Amino acid sequence: MRIIDTHSHLFADEFDTDREEVIQRAKDVGVARIYMPNIDDTTIERLLEVCETYKGYCFPLMGLHPTSVTADYKEPLNKVYQCLQSCRNKFVGIGEIGIDLYWDDTFLDQQVKVFETQVRWALELDLPIVIHCRKAMPYIYKVLLPYKETKLRGIFHSFTGEQEEAEMMLEFSRFMIGINGIVTFKKSSIPAILPQIPMQRIVLETDSPYLAPVPHRGRRNESSYIFDTLNKVAEVLKQEPEEVARVTSENALRLFEMGKGG
């Protein structure tokens, strides 16, 4: 069974002592690829180092995360862009980008500008985007709406289970919805919404080291735990896990290979 983890931060410090073992455990449960979105200008070197070490298994994306956006965003954004241009063939997408208003909206205007800029990069380079959205879907929607009929494509990362958000996401036919360990949480609303989302629009992710699924909740997350998310999604959709793994993996490969003629 082949499973694809479309969102992991395996380059994070949390994995420095046992990264090799983490990858082996992922392979042991059938994880065939891990896609790794960048965070900001301080994580670029580590991201590229890990993806080079595990070339063909770990695939890097380049972007500036919204929680790293401040009033002085221009310099880190420029560093991200320079890396994207100088190592263009290394990256399979633009991410992790978006808007995060969970804590406050101090830098809302800056987050919107940075998000808009990186969306334009994706169109110019014909790369998919991975969108981080927390308490900000109306703003995300407004930025994306002008590009609805373009080749812009990507993943709405870490769907939380809100009906209205799902409806807005599904309007963008070239976008997938990322399901991770949240679907296993006791109070999660995702199981009630998930049957309304076509399986051809779903990809699986971990967001490791964050959001570990039950029964690992509270621990460091890792790609092998995607197996628990897969089983929960299969249970909710009344499908065999092998079928969910097949379809979601095909969805991910189609998305990331589209600009390469795949």
CATH code assigned at 69: 3.20.20.140
Average pLDDT of the residues in 3-17: 98
Distances (CA, A) of 210 to 43, 97, 118, 201, 225: 17, 17, 24, 23, 11
Contacts of 249 (CB under 8 A, 6+ apart): 2, 3, 4, 32
**Average pLDDT along the chain:** 96
Q: Which domain, by its residues, includes 145?
A: 3-260
Q: Which two tokens stand for residue 111?
A: 């987050």
Q: Does residue 194 contact residue 233 with C-beta atoms inside 8 Å?
A: yes
The predicted-structure confidence for 109-138, as pLDDT tens digits, reads as follows 999 999 999 999 999 999 999 999 999 999
How many domains in the chain? 1
Q: Which residue has the tokens 């208003």?
A: 101
Can you say whether residue 209 is alpha, beta or left, with left for phi > 0 and alpha for psi between -120 and 50 degrees? alpha
User: Is 92 buried (19+), middle (13-18) or exposed (0-12) by CB count in 10 A?
Assistant: buried
Can you say whether residue 189 is alpha, beta or left, with left for phi > 0 and alpha for psi between -120 and 50 degrees? alpha
Q: Is a pLDDT exceeding 60 seen at residue 259? A: no
Peptide bond into 215 cis (omega under 30): yes
| pTM metric for this prediction | 0.96
Peptide bond into 198 cis (omega under 30): no
Contacts of 31 (CB under 8 A, 6+ apart): 3, 4, 5, 223, 224, 226
The predicted-structure confidence for 43-94, as pLDDT tens digits, reads as follows 999 999 999 999 999 999 999 999 999 999 999 999 999 999 998 889 999 9
Q: For 218, which DSSP code? A: T
